[in-house]
Structure 1
């Protein structure tokens, strides 16, 4: 368990943050300049805060009241930077084992071989970074962090420089780390597609202050708990029932109803969790006969919250609560109130391949 409570000033920017991380992957989200990377660097020991405490399990890494500060190389943290930061003069093999020189991590041939195969980088071991693609560099950077056998893994927007196809290659590896290694991960991001797929916990930060924390559905389920630049939405768990390869679509069943998803790396029988942005949902009291939106769910309005010309409506669809965000003018025109039956329409494109949260074969 990681416990953090720190305060820090950089010029005119003030950071005040307190949170706890246990297992799984915790996404630290917020707009640029909100303090995400500064907070990650404080945890790693790369920035020494003005005051506060940091504990990992029973070990204190920081206690300014007692004058305690443990330097980065003694915190046993694996750090994957945004740029990868591979050593250009070293081969992939040398990059992977570099941190062991300082941490004195004993070699474990089976563990090393398994990790190399997991990341799919065996054929890259004798190459230098300038001979690697962006996706390959990212996998090597992740491998280097894991080769040091860290107690905690920090990843600062590690996929930001990759296109969607390369990201899709990396996601399964990150899911394995999250689910199988037992290493808690602090994952800095501002992209909803990454958070929706990877996060088991979410911490939202804005202007140097944490404004919400909890499971993804809680934090991402209302704009009131999110920075304005990050869209709210809902999560639905569904089972893939049919795949229409020629149409690039998948049909899935959820408690809320049938869903049509864009083609993704999934098979019939897989369970997936998808994120539906609140602003992608159109509400109507009656479904038009001809409409392009493939997804058509029905439910009853539970709650309505209006602020600043926008209205958030939570609709109960078969026990699943789905958030829609529309203009207050539209809500008034439809005379929406709790108990009203409503239809939800949204296109398949609203749930891209990176909306997959996890899958079970």
Structure 2
């Protein structure tokens, strides 16, 4: 799948001028409120006709100087923040309605099982929780046989527990359906868990795009992600579960012992490691309570207007990010190309920062 997007559009007091490409898997559009995310997905869906646009999905031209393909001919599934189910229809009837416009009616049972909504079929939307409504909305979108799925802040209206409930279904959706997804969010934890690629937006412009692992660990992305949310995503394999509650995971640069790992031995998982939780040492530490120590090399140092500095690291070929003070950079003599050790506390990687579980 190849989605190519170039859009310029002007609102009162706001100019949108973006260009990016998205491939298979999940591509996240990330930015603060007002960055232009919803305008972009509405233009892709055909719900907004921009001042100028060149939008193509594979060989199908959605928008060009001469073309504007109507929304109903774009084969796009759209999941909104507020679900937008038909209130007078049951869940089963909502799903069947989508089947009128696609070729997935025979896959209804699979979608129902995938999203765990079999026991909801006879109920009406007013009796569903927020997470249940979103799962039904996902099912309806998938049953329209989309070539592309747009998801605009689908979890923004959910509280923490409901959000945690639905994220595993989105993990399953990503791996089981093969439908490419453009996922809009301003929540870093969602993006870190689900996305394969990431497009950063600020004030109607694309500031950075590329593979998730590269963008998340880019020091230049820290201002947009937020100082407290910035950090890298590592790929790991679970190798052991100890009797003390600690699990051992293999990453590119060595092993980590972490709490709260639910995935079985042999599973591949993602770890989100916040930059503020990574300590740096010039020598192999001795006598520390923290046991997670990875050799690394500094690839870049970025200082801002404040007292902090973002340090990009190469840890066995994977990108890691640390945030220290500018004073620490000076006193340690940190510079690009320098070898050192990154220290990660076992308790700093929260359970909800560990995702995945495929073998």
TM over 0.5: yes
How many Å apart are 1:13 and its aligned residue? 0.8
1:282 match: 279
Contact 1:240 1:250 in 2 (8 A): yes
2:54 match: 53
Q: 1:34 to 1:262 in 2, by over 3 A?
A: farther
State the TM-score, normalizing by the size of structure 2. Answer: 0.90
1:306 match: 303
2:230 match: 232
1:151 match: 147
Counterpart secondary structure, 1:205:
strand
Stretch moving more, 158-167 or 116-125: 158-167
Query: CA separation in 1, counterparts of 2:77 and 2:71?
Result: 10
Stretch moving more, 328-337 or 146-155: 328-337
- 1:210 matched to 2:190? The reply is no
Q: 1:134 to 1:316 in 2, by over 3 A?
A: same
Query: CA separation in 2, counterparts of 1:218 and 1:339?
Result: 18
Stretch moving more, 322-331 or 21-30: 322-331
Query: CA separation in 1, counterparts of 2:95 and 2:176?
Result: 20
Query: CA separation in 1, counterparts of 2:93 and 2:298?
Result: 58
Query: CA separation in 2, counterparts of 1:6 and 1:240?
Result: 43
2:122 match: 126
Q: Cα RMSD between the aligned structures?
A: 2.3
Q: Tell me, which stretches of 5 or more residues in structure 2 are unaligned? A: none
Contact 1:31 1:227 in 2 (8 A): no
How many Å apart are 1:283 and its aligned residue? 1.9
- 1:258 matched to 2:248? The reply is no
Query: CA separation in 2, counterparts of 1:271 and 1:56?
Result: 31
Equivalent pairs counted in the alignment come to 354
Contact 2:303 2:309 in 1 (8 A): yes
Deviations 1:75-126, CA, capped at 9 Å, x for gaps? 121110011122222110111122344x2x35633x1111111111111100
How many Å apart are 1:340 and its aligned residue? 4.4
Contact 1:211 1:226 in 2 (8 A): no
Query: CA separation in 1, counterparts of 2:216 and 2:322?
Result: 12
Query: CA separation in 1, counterparts of 2:240 and 2:162?
Result: 26
Deviations 1:308-353, CA, capped at 9 Å, x for gaps? 3432223343444422121211111222234544332233343233
Query: CA separation in 2, counterparts of 1:319 and 1:154?
Result: 32
Query: CA separation in 2, counterparts of 1:318 and 1:185?
Result: 30
Q: 1:253 to 1:87 in 2, by over 3 A?
A: same
Deviations 1:271-323, CA, capped at 9 Å, x for gaps? 212121222212234536354x4533333434433333432223343444422
Alignment of 1:35-50 (within 5 A): 35-50=36-51
Deviations 1:129-155, CA, capped at 9 Å, x for gaps? 122122211111110111111111000
1:182 match: 178
1:199 match: 195
Deviations 1:209-238, CA, capped at 9 Å, x for gaps? 011111012211213146534443223222
Counterpart secondary structure, 2:145:
coil
- 1:161 matched to 2:161? The reply is no
Deviations 1:37-68, CA, capped at 9 Å, x for gaps? 111111111111111121122222112x22x2
Q: 1:90 to 1:245 in 2, by over 3 A?
A: farther
1:74 match: 73
Query: CA separation in 2, counterparts of 1:95 and 1:244?
Result: 46
Q: 1:100 to 1:323 in 2, by over 3 A?
A: same
Query: CA separation in 1, counterparts of 2:155 and 2:334?
Result: 41
Contact 2:213 2:234 in 1 (8 A): no
Contact 1:206 1:227 in 2 (8 A): no
Query: CA separation in 2, counterparts of 1:265 and 1:41?
Result: 38
Deviations 1:146-198, CA, capped at 9 Å, x for gaps? 11111110001111223343333323322333233221110001111111111
